Structure 1
Amino acid sequence: MAFFKIVPAVALALFATQGLSQELPPAPLRMLVGFAPGGGNDVIARTVATQFQINTKTTMVVENKPGGGSTIATGEMARAKPDGSVLLLGSVGGQAIAPSIYSKLPYDPVKGVQPVSLVAKSANALVVNAALPVKNVQELLAYAKAHPGELNVASPGNGTISHLSAELFKSMAGVFITHIPYRGDAPAMQDVMAGQAQLTFASLPSAKAGVDSGKVRILAVTSSKRVATMPNVPTIAESGVPGYEVVSWYGVFTTGGTPMPTVNRLAQEIAAVLAQPAIRETISKQGMEPSALGPNEFAQLVNNDSQKWEKVVRKVGIKLD
């Protein structure tokens, strides 16, 4: 499949040296989120938008456009005027997985989408309903094998990182668990809390909220190393599924064809947002690592993950229309 064309190195040098001479896109700016309010994408978008407005005195409105694993929101952004005024708080699921998993997309994933800046990276958490009689991954696997087809795994939608995390887990562990897609991280977590679904691969903010309610428990994290803020929670890899690793990221995109000076200015302002100690603390408290990358480096990250997940999609055999 095709991937993003990497901006030449001269553009990255321009990003580092041009200062803030390029004007911001015309206000009000719109930040689209491809999921319902309350999930990881939504939390990050609103955190960034609030500080962006304070820093620049420019209005940025966050709009939730759930559905299609973020493809609906991405499509609206891709069809916008290429002036940087419509942004997307995207993620690995919507931007690196969707092009491989969907037969048709309402936009060109290369020409229609311009990476602006990485915002944060995060492990996800394997979460189960508190009433499920399992306390660790080994017990979950044993239960799934003893009760084939009885467990439901919720996700924020088809083609999301949560969905692919579940499919990779099922494939590597050799268990049968039914996937149930929802329209966002929060609705998926709500049904796991209610017992309508038994498990999910949730963003850490969503998982923490569920644990605080007493209705779910975290069995493991998806990263290769334990999360610093949750040192007692093991990884899936060390809990019985060797080699398992999934890392989520969140980043800002804009319409393909937006002039690079505008893209660079937006990236600089996002970097300035992430440099604020209060913003870094807010993101870190949610179990995420704040991390700004310029357009060129971020495009490379998206390319690398697109290729990684294309192989997983092909191996597992997932295809959506």
Structure 2
Amino acid sequence: MATQFQLNTKEVMVVENKPGGGSTVATAEMARARPNGSVLLLGSVGGQAIAPSIYSKLPYDPVKGVQAVSLVAKSANALVVNSELPVKNVQELVAYAKAHPGTLNVTSPGNGTISHLSAELFKSMAGVFITHIPYRGDAPAMQDVMAGQAQMTFASLPSAKAGADSGKVRILAVTSSKRVETMPNIPTIAESGVPGYEVLSWYGVFTTGGTPMPTVNRLAQEIAAVIAQPAIRESISKMGMEPAALGPVDFTQLVNSDSQKWDKVVKTVGIKLD
């Protein structure tokens, strides 16, 4: 599906959805384009920082074929548990897991997703054994926790809040290093007994590797100007994310840092999707 947007009398932007392979299909098409900045990709931590580790063979070079342009938005996720589970905070959850090894299940939208790796990182850092159950999508992963078929999940903030408002799940903590402004009473996992734990989801714009840096910098400036618009910031905030513009250098550092972080988790757990 493609959608055209008239930017002015001479320029048209075509938005085309290319689902599949955890964003690798879309990334591959962008990587094959002419390196002039005319083809852009809205990428994510899953597609750009995790996919190179969980897929043994990609149809593009994740380093030379892709150029980071600008971060657009970032967000913490939330650790939620079924409201019937007798724990009120992360420390109690860890204690319960250690006292009842193998009895807790953690759901995710699928193997290799940021939710799955958030759980694996938590298990490793907290020293607990919890069984991972992959689902096909966020909704069923949350629904089974709400129904009590599973005990916990790492959910997006809007999904976590909706579940908590229903009274069927309890939010124990957020995954960021600092508390979320919209949930000031919810602690972080790091301050709740698992020091150093931090996970952020993010979205950003990428273009074809080899694109001249003056073009990349100009794109980043234009994107930053758009993100600064109040209406755009409000729209991003309504999705439970924080508007955040980072230029090519800083955004590349973020992608590389997350790639190294998740590569270690993927290798420890042994996750492969092909």
TM-score bracket, shorter-length normalisation = 0.7 to 0.9
Question: What whole-Å deviation, never above 9, does each CA across 1:113-170 have from its counterpart, x for those lacking one?
Answer: 2212101122211112333333221232233234332322222332232222111110
Question: 2:155: which partner in 1?
Answer: 202
Normalising to structure 1: TM-score of the pair?
0.72
Q: Which amino acid aligns with 1:63?
A: N
Work out the number of aligned pairs and report it.
270
Question: 1:249: which partner in 2?
Answer: 202
Normalising to structure 2: TM-score of the pair?
0.83
Question: What does 1:1-321 align with in structure 2 at a 5 Å threshold?
Answer: 53=5, 58-61=12-15, 63=17, 65-66=19-20, 68-80=21-33, 82=35, 84-260=37-213, 262-314=215-267, 316-320=268-272, 321=274
- What is the percentage of aligned positions where both structures have the same residue? 83
- Paired with 1:74 and 1:194, the residues of 2 have a C-alpha distance of 37
Q: Secondary structure at the match of 1:131?
A: coil
- Paired with 1:188 and 1:291, the residues of 2 have a C-alpha distance of 28
How far did 1:221 drift? Answer: 0.7
- Paired with 1:72 and 1:260, the residues of 2 have a C-alpha distance of 25
Aligned 8 A contact 1:83 1:255 in 2: yes
How far did 1:313 drift? Answer: 3.7
How far did 1:274 drift? Answer: 0.6
Q: Which amino acid aligns with 1:282?
A: S
Aligned 8 A contact 1:155 1:181 in 2: yes
Aligned 8 A contact 2:78 2:160 in 1: yes
Q: Secondary structure at the match of 1:271?
A: helix
How far did 1:109 drift? Answer: 0.8
Distance 1:193 1:253, change over 3 A: farther
Aligned 8 A contact 1:117 1:270 in 2: yes
How far did 1:300 drift? Answer: 2.3
Distance 1:260 1:202, change over 3 A: same
How far did 1:270 drift? Answer: 2.1
How far did 1:293 drift? Answer: 1.8
How far did 1:220 drift? Answer: 0.3
How far did 1:187 drift? Answer: 4.2
Q: Secondary structure at the match of 1:218?
A: strand
Distance 1:182 1:108, change over 3 A: farther
* Structure 1 vs Structure 2 CA RMSD: 2.9
Distance 1:176 1:55, change over 3 A: farther
- Paired with 2:143 and 2:33, the residues of 1 have a C-alpha distance of 33
Aligned 8 A contact 2:37 2:208 in 1: yes
Structure 2's unaligned 5+ residue stretches are none
Q: Which amino acid aligns with 2:116?
A: H
- Paired with 1:167 and 1:184, the residues of 2 have a C-alpha distance of 18
- Paired with 2:17 and 2:79, the residues of 1 have a C-alpha distance of 28
Q: Secondary structure at the match of 1:144?
A: helix
Aligned 8 A contact 1:94 1:159 in 2: no
Structure 1's unaligned 5+ residue stretches are 1-26, 30-52
How far did 1:175 drift? Answer: 1.4
Distance 1:156 1:281, change over 3 A: same
Distance 1:215 1:88, change over 3 A: farther
- Paired with 2:165 and 2:205, the residues of 1 have a C-alpha distance of 29
Question: What whole-Å deviation, never above 9, does each CA across 1:212-244 have from its counterpart, x for those lacking one?
Answer: 343322110112221121111011122222222
Question: What whole-Å deviation, never above 9, does each CA across 1:269-315 have from its counterpart, x for those lacking one?
Answer: 3222211112212323444321112223312221222233334444x
- Paired with 1:58 and 1:209, the residues of 2 have a C-alpha distance of 38
